[in-house]
Amino acid sequence: MSEPALRLSILGLGTVASGVVRILTGPDSPVSRRAGRTFDIRHVAVRDASKSRDVEIPADRITTDWNAAVSDPEVDVVLELMGGTTTAREAVLAAIAAGKHVVTANKALLAEHGDEVFAVAREAGVCVAYEAAVAGGIPIIATMGCSMTGNRVVSIEAILNGTSNFILTGMLGEQRQYEDVLAEAQDLGYAEADPAMDVDGTDAAQKLILLTQLALGKKVELNEFPRQGIDTLELADMLYAEELGYRVKLLGVTRVVGDQLEMHVEPTLLRLERAIAQTDGALNIVELHGDAVGPLVLSGAGAGQMPTASAVVADLVEVAIGRAQHTFPQLNLWQDDSGLSVMPADQIQRRYFLRFNVEDKPRVIADVADILGRNEISLASIIQHEAPEVEDAENGGTPIVPLVIMTHRTTEGRIRAAESALAELSTVRAPHIRMPVAD
């Protein structure tokens, strides 16, 4: 190995950072041989230097001063593994300003501040590698950035949040309600103490923003497309979907339709036989469609210590052997030169799964069908089971039953208009459940 050691500062020493240290310092690690050089961990910046760790770092390499760690002139690369968007942003900008390459797993930082981060990095002539920020161990950034260069990307459909998928799999497999499985996921460490970003769709939407930017050169903001999490989902609706031959997944979709970009993250019905429908537990999956390559599916661990560390190390080796320095300037990052505009939500076209609770009385189905018909929505299938689900005492004992409808293809605008009209019917009760159906 003629190359000098690559000198690192690691910011944060949580789960993923410990995994990275483990890979780099493991006995007989293959990484140095593959990179053609060794790795020298100069600094590890932590909040609490006294905390015990499950990896061994010499005490003189541990610091609570991230600024010193990123500005040391003897450091070549900064690994930002602290998370968050405040200190992480400052630290990444400081690292870039000090001329360091950056490897990060922080999708929130890039989804929110990517334009700033990538612009200053380009100016400074350093690279920001972020394979670990999207879909954990799945090499989706490399695939999109390097392997799809001969393609125009037509669509991306993906499960990008492992926590949500773990909960959905648990709900269906064990016939349990959302709150129940969430509590278990938190006990097992699959869900954060504050799981809001995972279960409300924000995390998946941030990752989809990063993939869309890379694939299509289009900068999209979080508030520009429909986003719904799994936190309002009921087991009953998952079971109705199964009855119709579909599985509910938290699906992120980006699709080019003419000069518009259809984009959404929502619990979505997928035909049971599709690979995405069968992706269970904490796995992630990305199904790309390129005009030359056709469909291309990648699946694997979307989170977890070692899979995410695997992605961080892959980026680190890219920097070590000089590839990342060629890749980064070519990537279509935050350039917004696509000519695409985000499709307004009302214009999105697809089929829908609807569930209403209705009074089990004559004419109710006719009234519902009439309102849908007046909004030019035609019905593909209806489920109404005989057994009443709820006795409604206030209603003089009229049973309330769920009415499940699968529509033919229509627009989100028509569905919303129909829902408003349906809400006026005295025989239709909340909640109104609406989930799109993937083609």
Using CB under 8 A, which of 16, 82, 102, 131 touches its own copies? Answer: 131
Q: Cα 328 to the chain's mean position, in Å?
A: 22
Nearer to its own copies, 20 or 372 (CB): 20
Non-local (6+) Cβ contacts of 204 within 8 A are 158, 159, 160, 161, 164, 250, 252, 265
Is the peptide bond between 431 and the residue preceding it cis, with omega within 30 degrees of 0?
Answer: yes
Cα distance between residue 40 and residue 25, in whole Å: 10
Nearer to its own copies, 73 or 150 (CB): 150
Q: Are 100 and 121 in contact (CB under 8 A)?
A: no
SS3 102: strand
User: Residues 18-37 vs its own copies: string with x where CB under 8 A?
Assistant: -x---x------xx--xxx-
Task: Output the 3-class SS for 9-65.
Answer: EEECCCHHHHHHHHHHHCCCCCHHHHHCCCEEEEEEECCCCCCCCCCCCCHHHEECC
| Minimal distance, residue 142 CB to its own copies, in Å | 5
User: Residues 279-318 vs its own copies: string with x where CB under 8 A?
Assistant: -----------xxxxxxxxxxxx--x-xx-xxxxxx-xxx
Cα distances (angstroms) measured from residue 384 to each of 223, 240, 405, 410: 36, 10, 9, 22
Using CB under 8 A, which of 9, 18, 104, 143 touches its own copies? Answer: 143
Does residue 55 bind its own copies (CB under 8 A)? no
Nearer to its own copies, 62 or 140 (CB): 140
| Minimal distance, residue 182 CB to its own copies, in Å | 24
User: Residues 324-353 vs its own copies: string with x where CB under 8 A?
Assistant: --xx-xx-x---------------------
| Minimal distance, residue 261 CB to its own copies, in Å | 16
Nearer to its own copies, 17 or 348 (CB): 17
Q: Are 129 and 328 in contact (CB under 8 A)?
A: yes
Nearer to its own copies, 125 or 373 (CB): 125
Q: Cα 247 to the chain's mean position, in Å?
A: 18
Q: Cα 354 to the chain's mean position, in Å?
A: 25
> How many binding residues for its own copies (CB under 8 A)?
55
Binding span for its own copies by CB under 8 A among 145-153, 249-257, 365-373, 431-439: 145-153
Nearer to its own copies, 290 or 436 (CB): 290
Non-local (6+) Cβ contacts of 173 within 8 A are 280
Nearer to its own copies, 84 or 329 (CB): 329
160: which 2 tokens? Answer: 């990008």
| Minimal distance, residue 185 CB to its own copies, in Å | 19
From 207, 218, 219, 249, the catalytic residue: 207
Cα distance between residue 327 and residue 154, in whole Å: 22
Cα distance between residue 288 and residue 273, in whole Å: 17
Subset of residues 248 to 277 that bind its own copies, contact rule: CB under 8 A = 273, 275
Does residue 429 bind its own copies (CB under 8 A)? no
Is residue 207 part of the annotated active site? The answer reads: yes
| Minimal distance, residue 191 CB to its own copies, in Å | 19
Cα distance between residue 5 and residue 20, in whole Å: 16
Cα distance between residue 81 and residue 79, in whole Å: 6
Which residues are annotated as catalytic? 207
Instruction: Note the residues at the interface with its own copies (CB under 8 A).
Output: 19, 23, 30-31, 34-36, 131, 137-139, 142-143, 146-152, 273, 275, 278, 290-301, 304, 306-307, 309-314, 316-318, 321-323, 326-327, 329-330, 332
